[in-house]
């Protein structure tokens, strides 16, 4: 590799800057890339959102194109291209389907000559559960997928599934999500404070889910599973994420209908996810489809919280023997697994949690993942000089 006298400029083109898994992973990467070797520029296709300021505090330049994904005009796409050109990148890195396409279009329209990388963050087992705009982006992505130099997937299953529907084979690089085991760690006092804030008894068993509200995340299914656990144990369900609060009429009505208003806590989007994890006894990832590498699972494991997950994306591989795995679309199996986990002695759950934390340290540390991205950026830039 050639010696560089100035930082390598990486321009990330991402669909939006909400608090989803991709956006949070980009933020973690921006905070960990060596600033003497890398300069980070972020171009959001949508308007500025919650992750813009954290990215700027991490040293990134952030630009927002204000583009409508449903009806992207040529003028708006040109605005994205101009932002990429202004970044003077050595590498352009797309994130998520629309961001990947926009990154490639910027090079195809000659706004940049820098090599383009893609980042695919989902698994895909069909189009039935997808929004029409997402289906169109996935299919267009397959047609354009020979354009990027490499396609980064955050899960092995995601790579396999995308190649099966036409994404270019031989270009896959799997880099899993990485986790900060200092930020996410056992914190009994912090967990006790969160429980007290929410009125949860200190000796209750707390199940939790951290995910934006979305049909694929299966929040309703988890509430139904929690209803099956009422007999015999003091079990509470803490649900966090964008759209998961009392203003969600559908979810709140279901909680009332099942008589769970005193047991289900809809706390919405919060900035203290490590504290929420510290309050849990078990993290649940009940998604029925489209997960690649669920961030919440890795964050819970790093916090020494055992997990119950559906076998979607790489979830089973991530958890391995430190938790429980059930098939998707089978609510009875989910309820049975939660019943088993709740019935375990506290010492056994703690042992599973300790093993989960060690697994994250060994395989999914943020240091290891950041090093993989740094190597990819340097190799991509050098190959085109």
In the predicted model, what is the mean pLDDT of residues 215-227?
95
CB of 303 closer than 8 Å to CB of 346: no
Would you state the pLDDT for residue 385?
62
Residue 231 pLDDT class (50, 70, 90 cuts):
low
Instruction: Tell me how far apart the alpha carbons of residues 16 and 47 are, in angstroms, rounded to a whole number.
Output: 7
In the predicted model, what is the mean pLDDT of residues 68-86?
92
Q: State yes or no: pLDDT of 103 exceeds 90.
A: yes
List, in order, residues 6 or more apart from 118 with CB less than 8 Å away. Answer: 93, 94, 100, 103, 104, 141, 145, 148, 150, 151, 152
Q: State yes or no: pLDDT of 123 exceeds 60.
A: yes
What structural domains does the chain harbor?
A: 8-178+365-383 (3.40.50.2000), 188-363 (3.40.50.2000)
- 297 vs 292: which has the higher pLDDT: 297
CB of 324 closer than 8 Å to CB of 309: yes
Mean pLDDT taken over the chain:
94
Q: 3-state secondary structure string, the chain?
A: CCCCCCCEEEEEEECCCCCCHHHHHHHHHHHHCCCCCEEEEEEECCCCCCCHHHHHHCCCEEEECCCCCCCCCHHHHHHHHHHHHHHCCCEEEEEHHHHHHHHHHHHHCCCCCCCEEEEECCCCCCCCCCCHHHHHHHHHHHHHCCCCCEEEECCHHHHHHHHHCCCCCCCEEECCCCECCCCCCCCHHHHHHHHHHHCCCCCCEEEEEECCCCHHHCHHHHHHHHHCCCCCCCEEEEEECCCCCCCCHHHHHHHHHCCCCCCEEEEECCCCHHHHHHCCCEEEECCCCCCCCCHHHHHHHHCCCCEEEECCCCHHHHHHHHCEEECCCCHHHHHHHHHHHHHCCHHHHHHHHHHHHHHHHHHCEHHHHHHHHHHHHHHHHHHCC
Residue 73 pLDDT class (50, 70, 90 cuts):
confident
CB of 259 closer than 8 Å to CB of 251: no
- The share of the chain scoring above pLDDT 90, in percent, equals 87
234-248 pLDDT, tens per residue?
A: 999 999 999 999 999
Would you state the pLDDT for residue 71?
82
Would you state the pLDDT for residue 353?
99
Q: State yes or no: pLDDT of 131 exceeds 60.
A: yes
List, in order, residues 6 or more apart from 324 with CB less than 8 Å away. Answer: 306, 307, 308, 309, 337, 340, 341
316-337 pLDDT, tens per residue?
A: 999 999 999 999 999 999 999 9
Q: Which two tokens stand for residue 173?
A: 């690089």
Tell me the β-bridge partners of 283.
208, 307
Compute CA 180 distance to the chain's CA centroid, rounded to the nearest angstrom. Answer: 14
Q: State yes or no: pLDDT of 252 exceeds 80.
A: yes
Tell me the β-bridge partners of 61.
41
25-37 pLDDT, tens per residue?
A: 999 999 999 999 9
Instruction: Tell me how far apart the alpha carbons of residues 381 and 375 are, in angstroms, rounded to a whole number.
Output: 10
Would you state the pLDDT for residue 301?
98
Q: Which two tokens stand for residue 64?
A: 């927002």
Backbone angles phi, psi at 249, to 5 degrees: -60, -40
Would you state the pLDDT for residue 225?
96
CB of 224 closer than 8 Å to CB of 294: no
Q: State yes or no: pLDDT of 21 exceeds 90.
A: no
Q: Report how far apart, in Å, the C-alpha atoms of 104 and of each of 100, 114, 148, 151, 243 are.
A: 6, 10, 7, 12, 32
Lowest model confidence (mean pLDDT) among 128-132, 239-243, 261-265? 128-132
């Amino acid at each position: 590799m050639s010696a560089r006298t100035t930082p390598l400029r990486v321009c990330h083109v991402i669909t939006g800057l909400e608090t989803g898994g991709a956006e949070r992973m980009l933020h973690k990467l921006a905070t960990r890339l060596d600033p003497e070797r890398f300069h980070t520029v972020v171009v959001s296709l949508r308007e500025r959102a919650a992750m813009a300021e954290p990215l700027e505090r991490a040293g990134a330049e952030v630009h927002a194109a204000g583009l409508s994904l449903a009806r992207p005009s040529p003028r708006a796409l040109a605005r994205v291209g101009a932002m990429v050109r202004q970044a003077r990148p050595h590498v352009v890195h797309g994130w998520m389907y629309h961001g990947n396409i926009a990154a490639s279009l910027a090079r195809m329209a000659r706004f940049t000559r820098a090599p383009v990388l893609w980042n695919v963050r989902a698994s895909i087992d069909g189009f039935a559960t997808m929004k029409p705009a997402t289906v169109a982006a996935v299919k267009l992505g397959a047609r354009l997928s020979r354009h990027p130099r490499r396609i980064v997937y955050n899960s092995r299953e995601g790579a396999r599934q995308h190649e099966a529907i036409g994404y270019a084979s031989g270009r896959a690089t799997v880099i899993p999500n990485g986790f900060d085991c200092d930020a996410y760690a056992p914190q009994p006092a912090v967990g006790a404070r969160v429980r007290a804030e929410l009125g949860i008894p200190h000796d209750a068993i707390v199940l939790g889910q951290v995910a934006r509200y979305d049909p694929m995340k299966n929040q309703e299914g988890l509430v139904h599973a929690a209803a099956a656990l009422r007999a015999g144990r003091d079990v509470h369900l803490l649900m966090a994420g964008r759209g998961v609060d009392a203003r969600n009429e559908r979810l709140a009505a279901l909680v009332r209908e099942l008589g769970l208003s005193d047991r289900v806590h809809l706390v919405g989007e919060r900035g203290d996810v490590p504290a929420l994890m510290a309050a849990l006894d078990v993290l649940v990832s009940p998604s029925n489809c489209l997960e690649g590498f669920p961030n919440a699972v890795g964050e819970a494991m790093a916090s020494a919280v055992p997990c119950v997950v559906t076998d979607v994306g790489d979830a089973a591989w991530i958890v391995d023997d430190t938790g429980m795995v059930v098939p998707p679309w089978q609510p009875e199996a989910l309820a049975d697994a939660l019943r088993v986990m709740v019935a375990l002695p506290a010492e056994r759950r703690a042992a599973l949690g300790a093993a989960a934390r060690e697994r994250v340290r060994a395989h999914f540390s943020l240091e290891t993942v950041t090093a993989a991205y740094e190597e990819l950026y340097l190799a991509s830039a050098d190959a085109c000089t």
